Chains A and B, each alone.
Chain A
């Protein structure tokens, strides 16, 4: 790097320091593009606000992990591993846990959570056809202990999570294994080349690629090296624990036992029993509720579960025949109009906590959209009947409408238009237009009162004289529903006009999609839920 670049780097660094300190210094000469980019990075990264409820909940986990032996949460396990966890005690705990799974309602609930809310994976398809290992199993060879943490097979895939304990840490870097836990190169290579096969009692064999050659993107089988942890940092030869997760095709539902065979430097095998979820005393939380279909849109409750913290998770799913479903209506309990609510059989609603605290968790698989809701205040034993969703949003490619506005002789005053624009199957009325002193166009719009139970979505996609306007730069300046402009009938949109100013504007206007008004009343899955929830 040249001296000139070093100086630029130094100047940029000082500017960035001032920027994060909220006292931005003048933009350094010749670096306006870089500082602009940095501003956009900060602005494009929404600040995540975690509320006090979440803060308190996580503090309880931290404090409990520090104060007591671990029970179930992964973080507690890991803290315990770091602190010591003598091998014999751990093995004993694993065995005891195995017995406990068969007898303890609490552990059964946790096992159900593993089966239906796999950590990181969220609610997965583990319906009545699913299989689950009934107890953890461990084997020991020399210094190494290998444990099958869980084996779950749904109709879509089999997930096998294993733990390898007792791996020697690499101390060559001179850093503490706690700060930078690393396997030695030989150990890492051995681990990464380990192959796993599942041999079932039906004579079928499923094989997974080793980590080193796994392709998680689209492959049916792959492996992932999970968290790596120091077990004991106080001894001269610290040992590490790691977890590997293997993903394989689903097991035959008639399978009742699986021999897990790992080959490589660590060659071992262990047999685990698997049983259908229902026979294991586990209630399937992901059995679908019946779908409701309307306007070419099908929506259903795809799964319900309760986590260890008592939070109720409801997964919604849906697809649209005429576009891509992109969301289920947000919560708005205060307005009395909109809200996602669970209703129990006594007519009591429970609202989800998306508005209060939580980011949206959603994904699209194929043509089906999934969105997870969480409900914090549903008491145990509540007999839930249905979920109310106020609206669904469908993204569609809609043909634009064209509007020409002659500004000549109307400087600074509204131009009455009263023009209906047809965009797809919907009509948008442009009531008037005017140009502000700073050169922006104000469009007074009327979306109508949800004609046919639907309306065009915002933001409008607008081009002016053939030049596209960034939708994010189009602002709403008035709305008859204030903040709830997404459902307002009358809006005034401020559209920045490109330079140079023109006396005649040709606007092409479209919408990213359509919002369908509800309420959508989605029945909850019936099997076993009343008893569970």
Chain B
């Protein structure tokens, strides 16, 4: 499939279809606005398509998320200046009431705020986990050893636990029961 896509961009479509949802979701979580997530997702696949000849990873998904990480890092840097203007939110269960939707958005924002308190490499591991990557894929995406990833994520979770304990405001919301 990748060999075909190298010759013909149209053949990239199945790879796009397969990974679009997870890449978009990852970008949306990191950037927190629909417009930025769309822009980032487009850039991720454009860059992947442009660099397909250089692809030599064991895992295409890991390689794609490595690109996604670079893209959202760039966009997040510029977005930091406008976060206060446009804190967008994840989609809300339409069964929720208006007030619950507002509360739920705040809860999701708290998760994002909590992750933002982690050192960048720890945060990155958790973000990749939330995107559904396995430990092996994360190691490939971050160019780190498997053992290093294990340590990073262990430290990250312990760090999150401390943060959640230290700050009631930063508590991680329970699952919604609607």
Contact across chains for B91 and A67 when beta carbons are under 8 A apart: no
Contacting pair B135 A17 (CB below 8 A): yes
Given contacts A20-B129, A459-B103, A512-B99, contact A245 B154 (CB under 8 A): no
A323 → chain B closest CB, angstroms: 12
Chain A residue nearest to B134 in the complex (CB):
A17
Nearest Cβ on chain A to B35's Cβ, whole angstroms: 7
Choice from B81, B108, B151, B153 contacting A1 with Cβ under 8 Å: B151
Closest to A309 in B: B38
| Distance of A414 from chain B, by nearest CB (Å) | 23
Q: Chain A: interface secondary structure? A: mixed
Give the distance in Å from the alpha carbon of A40 to the alpha carbon of B110 in the complex.
Answer: 12
User: Across the interface, do B134 and A20 meet the contact criterion of CB distance under 8 Å?
Assistant: yes
Which residue among B29, B33, B67 has the maximum number of chain A CB atoms within 10 Å of its CB?
B33
Which chain B positions have C-beta within 8 A of A63? 9-10, 13
A475: Cβ under 8 A from any B Cβ: yes
The answer to whether A47 touches B25, judged by C-beta atoms less than 8 angstroms apart, is yes
CB distance from B78 to the nearest CB of A (A): 4
* Complex CA distance for A359 and B108, rounded to whole angstroms: 12
Evaluate contact between B108 and A44: CB separation under 8 angstroms: yes
| Cross-chain contact A475 with B85 (CB below 8 angstroms) | no
User: Are A78 and B98 touching (Cβ within 8 A)?
Assistant: no
Tell me the residues in window 107-133 of chain A with beta carbons closer than 8 Å to chain B beta carbons. Answer: 119-122
Query: Is A46 within 8 A of B97, CB to CB?
Result: no
A513 contacts B by Cβ under 8 Å: yes
Q: How far is B35's CA from A218's CA once the two chains are assembled, in angstroms?
A: 23
Q: How far is the CB of A150 from chain B (nearest CB, A)?
A: 14
B150 touches A327 (CB 8 A): no
Residues of chain A within 8 A of B49, CB atoms compared: 62, 66
Partner of A41 from the list B35, B130, B134, B151 (CB cut-off 8 Å) is B130
A12 CA to B133 CA, complexed, in Å: 15
Given contacts A58-B45, A362-B89, A365-B85, contact A393 B102 (CB under 8 A): yes
| A458 / chain B contacts, CB cutoff of 8 Å | 97, 99-100
A1-30 with Cβ < 8 A to chain B: 1, 5-6, 8-10, 12-13, 16-17, 20-21
Q: Contact at B81–A216, with CB atoms within 8 Å?
A: yes
Distance from B45 Cβ to chain A, minimum over Cβ atoms (Å):
4
Q: Is the CB of A48 within 8 A of B25?
A: yes
A350 to B5: give the CA distance in the assembly, Å: 39
Alpha-carbon separation in the docked complex, A459 to B100 (Å): 6
CB of A207 within 8 Å of the partner chain: no
Q: CB-CB < 8 A to B59: which residues of A?
A: none
A75 close to chain B: CB less than 8 A:
yes
Q: Which of B67-124 contact A (CB under 8 A)?
A: 67, 70, 74-75, 77-82, 84-105, 107-108, 110-111
With A359-B28, A360-B101 given, is the CB distance from A46 to B175 under 8 Å? no
The answer to whether A483 touches B90 (Cβ under 8 A) is no
> Which of A48, A475, A486 makes the CB contact (< 8 A) with B24?
A48
User: Measured between alpha carbons, how far is A359 from B97 in the docked complex, in Å?
Assistant: 15
Indicate with 1 or 0, residue by residue over A219-259, a CB within 8 angstroms of chain B CB atoms: 00010111110000000000000010101000000000000
Interface size class of A (residues with CB under 8 A): 35 or more
Decide if B29 touches A45 in the complex (CB within 8 Å): yes
A457 to B172, CA, bound (A): 23
Which of B21, B46, B66 sits near A75, CB closer than 8 Å? B46
Asked if A203 CB lies within 8 Å of chain B CBs, one says: no
Complex: A423 Cα to B54 Cα, angstroms? 65
CB <8 Å contact, B134 and A45? no
Q: Assess whether A318 is interfacial by the CB under 8 Å rule.
A: no
Report Cα–Cα, A222/B80, bound state, in Å.
11
Within 8 A of B (CB), among A303-323: none
With A472-B177, A473-B177 given, is the CB distance from A50 to B157 under 8 Å? no
Flag B133-162 by CB within 8 Å of A: 1 or 0 each: 111000000000000011101100110110
B16, B37, B46: the one within 8 Å of A78 (CB): B46
The answer to whether B88 and A121 have CB atoms under 8 Å apart is no
Q: Which of A176-184, A402-410, A520-528 forms contacts with chain B?
A: A176-184
Residues of B within 8 A of A37 (CB): 157, 160-161, 164, 172
B residues less than 8 Å from A260 (CB atoms): none
A294 at the interface (CB under 8 A from B): no
CB-CB < 8 A to A59: which residues of B? 13, 16, 20, 45
In this complex, the member of A13, A119, A176 whose beta carbon has the largest number of chain B beta carbons within 10 angstroms is A13
Residues of A close to B54: CB separation below 8 A: 176, 178
Contact of B99 among A227, A326, A361 (CB under 8 A): A326
Contacts A82-B47, A225-B77 known; A485 to B33 CB distance under 8 Å? no
Q: Does A425 contact B (CB under 8 A)?
A: no
Chain A 474-515, CB-CB to B under 8 Å as 1, else 0, gives 011000000111100000000000000000000000011101
Cross-interface CB contact of B77 among A13, A226, A395, A459, cutoff 8 Å: A226
| A47 CB contacts on chain B under 8 angstroms | 25
B126 neighbours in A (Cβ, 8 Å): 41
Q: Given A38, A43, A73, A243, which contacts B174 in the complex, CB threshold below 8 Å?
A: A43
Q: How far is the CA of A63 from the CA of B12 in the complex (A)?
A: 9
Note all chain A residues with C-beta closer than 8 A to B39.
74-75, 119-120
CB pair A34 B42 closer than 8 Å: no
B36 interface residue (CB < 8 Å to A): yes
Most buried by B among A16, A49, A83: A16
Smallest CB separation, B19 vs chain A (Å): 11
- Which residue of chain A is the closest to B17 with respect to CB atoms? A55
Q: Is A217 an interface residue, CB under 8 A from the partner? A: yes
- Chain B nearest CB from A148 CB (Å) reads 17
Question: A48-B29, A227-B75 given as contacts; is B153 within 8 A of A12 (CB)?
Answer: yes
Interfacial chain A residues near B178, Cβ < 8 Å: 475-476
In addition to A9-B151, A473-B174, 5 A-B residue pairs with Cβ atoms within 8 Å of each other are: A38-B157, A50-B25, A120-B78, A359-B91, A362-B87
Q: Could you pull out 17 A-B pairs where Cβ atoms are within 8 angstroms?
A: A10-B150, A17-B134, A37-B164, A38-B129, A46-B108, A58-B45, A66-B46, A75-B39, A120-B86, A179-B70, A224-B81, A327-B98, A330-B94, A359-B88, A395-B102, A472-B176, A515-B99
Give the A-binding residues of B (Cβ under 8 A): 9-10, 12-13, 16-17, 20-21, 24-25, 28-29, 33-39, 41-43, 45-47, 49-51, 54, 66-67, 70, 74-75, 77-82, 84-105, 107-108, 110-111, 126, 129-130, 132-135, 149-151, 153-154, 157-158, 160-161, 164, 172-178
* Among all A-B residue pairs, the 4 with the closest Cβ atoms: A486-B97, A9-B154, A43-B175, A457-B99
